[in-house]
Each structure stands twice: as structure tokens, then as C-alpha cells.
């Protein structure tokens, strides 16, 4: 089978190295990349033609499969639609496109009798999409959660292990290539919410829209939070999470605390972990590299192999069943004990006793510590919607407050 590759950046060249090159043991007799779309015509590939005009791939009837690794949204969305409409199978890592058009694109693939695969769009090299599909054959999945962003996890690992503050850890992440020059989609939770949208759409059989997922970024975490929560036996993690309770879906991306002995506590640097809960299988977790050239390219080519097998055997891989029978409703379903740090004097309206009184109006205090003009509070269990409201009421500036739900 001839393959057209859209994008010859890091992941694209990794996929090329596997399919046309010597990385791994891809069955060379079964498929090869014949054309690569890249805006830079000076790029060279030994065994494929570099093209700058997408028509050269889209109008080439010998190309039966398109791998989409351009990134961004608009142009790749158009390309994926066009490929599907041209009767070409599509394998992509583009979470922005899949997250925003899950239902439309899976339907479009079906209408055109071709397959759309997107394993690498979530969790890098972790085979979460395929495993979820397999479990969904028997199970009703009602919870999905995970550490899904290498940048924030790298920052939190550095802050925890080397006691660096947020800004320095971010700069370090940028220096080693784990964070982009504009890290706002990573830090703000937008990257994770797209991935949770994809996982939730598949798990609950409905188009869960990324925009409606509540996002709290990691901007406000400071080394004081890392130290205080470590002292109390916790690790700070940036978690994406969704639950389905009888068709009411709650989904959130936010900082959380997990106990040191929690399976997610040991997930470091660019590694990701994803947990799913089924009614028969119970909890399953999948751990691996959430980013990086080889691992992500591996996921891309696993998809390619599945498409090749299906084509050779004259069948189509099953498309997700979208019954549409759920609605997304904020973060109503979540509750937990909370950790809260407020810098005293951050807001002239609140002194220590005011703060404690306001918190106690909402939830019992379990542990209070003041140090370096900061108050650190651990609370009893409370609904997340109530705690979010409480936190909002403090009206403090960036970094002057940080809070996180404790996940058991």
C-alpha cells in the first residue's frame, strides 16, 4: 500500500524511519510512504518524494492511506476531510482536530468506506484508544482519568525532585524541548482537555466537546505548595478526569494531590498514565511515554498496521458507537478533601481569621499551618463546585492562591 505523509517534523520523520527506514521491524513488503507533504521543499527523504502541494497526495489514486502529522487545526482538518472524502484511510496524531470533530470525522470515514485511526492523539505511545475500544465490547466505562501532558508533568517533577520554582522549571522544560515557546495550551490545560474530550467521547459514546470541559491550569503552583504537600505525604499532579453518571458527564482538568503511595504519584517527566474504569473489568491503567519522536511514531504505525490488516482481510475496523445520549455538566460529580494555600496579605480584605472563617463556612478544616506569611489548609471532603466558588471569592492575584483536590 502506498502512503502519503502530511508533515515531516519530529513525529513525521519518526514514522518515516519506521515505515521506510530501519527503526523497528515494520513489514516492508506491505506498505511504504511514497510522498511527503512539507512546506519546506529543501527537505530530503531517501525513498519518498517531498511535495509542497497537497493535491499531489490527495489526487494520487495510488495513495490509499494518509498519515496526518501537521499539527494545528484548520489546515489539517481540511486535509483529513479531503482524504476521507477521496476514499483514503487516515491515521493522525492531531488531537485538536479529533477532539473538535470526533463525531463528524468518524461518520465521514464510515460514509466513505474508509478507516480513521487516532491512537497517537492521546497519550503519545500508550495504546489507550485500542484498549478502550476492546474493553468497550463488554464493559460500560464510567470513568476516565490521567496524567496526559508531558510539559506540566515535567515541571511538577522538577519542582518536586529539585525544589525548583515554577518559572525556572518551565524554562528548563523549554530548554530541553518538553515545553513550547508559548506553553499556554500545556500549562492552561487546553492540551489535556482535548485528550479528555477524545477519551470521553469514545468511552461514553457521545460527542464530548473540549470547550465545555472545565480547565484549571498549573500557573499558580509555587514551591511552597510542593514543599507543604510533600511534608504531608502528597504529590501535586495535573489531572484530566471525567465521569459518566447515568448520562450526566462531569469533566475537568485541574491540579490535584495524590498520596505518595498512589499509582499515579510515581509517573515522572514525559511519562503519561491513563486510568479507565469498567463495570466488569474494574480499573485498568496504562503507562508509557506520552511524548517523544519514537514512542509517538510507534503509535502511528501501530494504527497503520491495523488498517493494513483490515484492508488485506477485506474488512473495516469498527467505528465508535455514538449514541449521543449523554450531556456534559461542569464538574458536578466531583468531590474530595482539598488543599488550599493563600498568601496572607494578598488581598487586604482577608486576614488569617477571615480566611479560616470563610473556609469553615463551606467545609471543616482538617489541618492548618501558617508559615512565611502563607496559610496552608487541608480540609474535609466537599463538593468541587462548592470549593471552586469559595476559592473564587478570595479575589487574589496570580500565584497568591493555589488549591487542589485530593484524589484517593
Cβ-Cβ contacts under 8 Å for 245 (sequence gap 6 or more):
142, 333
Q: Among 35, 88, 89, 289, indicate the residue that binds a copy of itself (CB under 8 A).
A: 289
Work out whether 10 is an interface residue with a copy of itself (CB under 8 A): no
| CA distance linking residue 313 with residue 125, whole number of Å | 26
Q: Among residues 108 and 326, whose Cβ is nearest to a copy of itself?
A: 326
Q: Among residues 179 and 301, whose Cβ is nearest to a copy of itself?
A: 301
Work out whether 262 is an interface residue with a copy of itself (CB under 8 A): yes
Q: Would you report the helix, strand and coil content of the chain in percent, each value rounded to 5?
A: 35, 25, 35
Which grid cell sits at 57?
497526495
Work out whether 26 is an interface residue with a copy of itself (CB under 8 A): yes
- Which of these ranges, 92-100, 196-204, 217-225, 261-269, lies near a copy of itself under the rule CB under 8 A? 261-269
Helices (H) and strands (E) in the chain, counts: 14, 17
Q: For residues 242 and 199, is the Cβ–Cβ distance under 8 A?
A: yes
| CA distance linking residue 107 with residue 320, whole number of Å | 9
Work out whether 128 is an interface residue with a copy of itself (CB under 8 A): no
Q: How far is the CB of 8 from a copy of itself (least distance, A)?
A: 19
E strand intervals along 12-163? 32-37, 49-51, 63-68, 89-92, 116-117, 141-147
> Quick one: DSSP state of residue 4?
E
Work out whether 301 is an interface residue with a copy of itself (CB under 8 A): yes
Work out whether 125 is an interface residue with a copy of itself (CB under 8 A): yes
| CA distance linking residue 234 with residue 28, whole number of Å | 48
Which bin fits 324, alpha (ψ -120 to 50), beta or left (φ > 0)? left
3-state secondary structure at position 95: helix
Residues in the chain: 408
Q: Among residues 285 and 385, whose Cβ is nearest to a copy of itself?
A: 285
Work out whether 30 is an interface residue with a copy of itself (CB under 8 A): no
Q: Among 32, 81, 82, 130, indicate the residue that binds a copy of itself (CB under 8 A).
A: 130
Work out whether 295 is an interface residue with a copy of itself (CB under 8 A): yes
- Which of these ranges, 37-45, 310-318, 345-353, 387-395, lies near a copy of itself under the rule CB under 8 A? 310-318
Which residues are annotated as catalytic?
195
Work out whether 315 is an interface residue with a copy of itself (CB under 8 A): yes
Q: Among residues 19 and 342, whose Cβ is nearest to a copy of itself?
A: 19
| Residue 307, φ and ψ in degrees, nearest 5 | -65, -45
Work out whether 71 is an interface residue with a copy of itself (CB under 8 A): no
Work out whether 205 is an interface residue with a copy of itself (CB under 8 A): no
Q: Among residues 15 and 375, whose Cβ is nearest to a copy of itself?
A: 15
Q: Among 180, 211, 283, 360, indicate the residue that binds a copy of itself (CB under 8 A).
A: 283
Work out whether 32 is an interface residue with a copy of itself (CB under 8 A): no
Q: Among 3, 97, 100, 126, indicate the residue that binds a copy of itself (CB under 8 A).
A: 126
Which grid cell sits at 292?
517523544
| CA distance linking residue 31 with residue 48, whole number of Å | 12
- Which of these ranges, 147-155, 246-254, 285-293, 380-388, lies near a copy of itself under the rule CB under 8 A? 285-293
**Within a 10 A sphere around the Cβ of 38, how many other Cβ atoms?**
19
Which residues face 250 on adjacent strands?
A: 243
Whole-Å CA distances, 150 to 73, 212, 224: 20, 23, 22
Q: Among residues 213 and 264, whose Cβ is nearest to a copy of itself?
A: 264
Binding site for a copy of itself (CB under 8 A): 18, 23-26, 125-127, 130-131, 134-135, 137-140, 260-268, 273, 278-289, 292, 294-295, 297-299, 301-302, 305, 313-315
Amino acid at each position: 500500500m502506498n502512503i502519503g505523509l502530511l508533515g515531516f517534523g519530529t513525529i513525521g520523520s519518526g514514522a518515516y524511519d519506521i515505515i521506510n527506514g530501519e527503526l523497528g521491524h515494520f513489514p516492508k513488503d506491505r506498505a511504504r510512504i511514497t510522498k511527503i507533504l512539507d512546506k519546506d521543499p529543501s527537505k530530503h527523504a531517501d525513498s519518498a518524494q517531498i511535495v509542497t502541494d497537497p493535491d499531489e497526495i490527495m489526487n494520487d489514486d495510488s495513495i490509499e492511506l494518509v498519515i496526518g502529522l501537521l499539527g494545528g487545526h484548520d489546515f489539517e482538518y481540511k486535509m483529513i476531510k479531503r482524504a476521507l472524502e477521496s476514499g483514503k484511510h487516515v491515521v493522525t496524531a492531531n488531537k485538536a482536530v479529533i477532539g473538535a470533530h470526533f463525531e463528524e470525522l468518524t461518520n465521514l470515514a464510515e460514509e466513505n468506506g474508509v478507516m480513521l485511526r487516532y491512537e497517537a492523539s492521546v497519550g503519545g505511545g500508550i495504546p489507550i484508544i485500542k484498549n478502550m475500544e476492546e474493553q468497550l465490547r463488554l464493559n460500560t466505562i464510567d470513568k476516565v482519568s490521567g496524567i496526559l501532558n508531558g510539559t506540566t508533568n515535567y515541571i511538577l517533577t522538577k519542582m518536586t525532585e529539585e525544589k525548583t520554582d515554577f518559572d525556572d522549571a518551565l524554562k528548563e522544560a523549554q530548554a530541553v524541548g518538553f515545553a513550547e515557546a508559548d506553553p499556554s495550551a500545556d500549562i492552561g490545560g487546553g492540551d489535556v482537555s482535548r485528550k479528555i474530550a477524545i477519551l470521553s467521547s469514545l468511552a461514553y459514546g457521545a460527542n464530548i466537546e473540549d470547550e465545555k470541559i472545565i480547565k484549571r491550569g498549573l500557573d499558580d503552583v509555587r514551591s511552597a505548595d510542593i514543599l507543604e504537600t510533600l511534608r504531608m505525604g502528597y504529590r501535586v499532579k495535573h489531572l484530566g478526569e471525567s465521569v459518566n453518571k447515568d448520562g450526566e458527564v462531569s469533566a475537568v482538568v485541574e491540579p490535584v494531590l495524590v498520596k505518595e503511595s498512589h499509582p499515579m504519584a510515581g509517573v515522572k517527566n514525559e511519562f503519561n498514565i491513563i486510568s479507565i474504569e469498567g463495570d466488569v473489568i474494574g480499573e485498568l491503567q496504562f503507562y508509557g511515554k506520552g511524548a517523544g519522536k519514537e514512542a509517538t511514531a510507534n503509535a502511528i504505525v501501530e494504527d497503520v498496521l491495523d488498517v493494513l490488516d483490515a484492508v488485506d482481510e477485506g474488512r473495516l475496523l469498527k467505528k465508535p458507537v455514538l449514541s449521543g445520549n449523554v450531556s456534559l455538566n461542569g464538574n458536578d460529580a466531583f468531590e474530595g478533601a482539598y488543599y488550599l494555600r493563600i498568601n496572607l496579605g494578598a488581598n487586604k480584605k482577608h486576614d488569617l481569621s477571615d480566611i479560616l472563617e470563610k473556609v469553615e463556612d463551606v467545609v471543616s478544616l482538617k489541618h492548618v499551618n501558617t508559615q512565611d506569611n502563607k496559610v496552608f489548609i487541608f480540609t474535609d471532603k466537599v463538593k468541587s463546585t462548592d470549593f471552586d466558588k469559595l476559592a473564587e471569592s478570595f479575589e487574589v492575584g496570580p500565584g497568591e492562591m493555589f488549591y487542589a483536590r485530593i484524589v484517593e
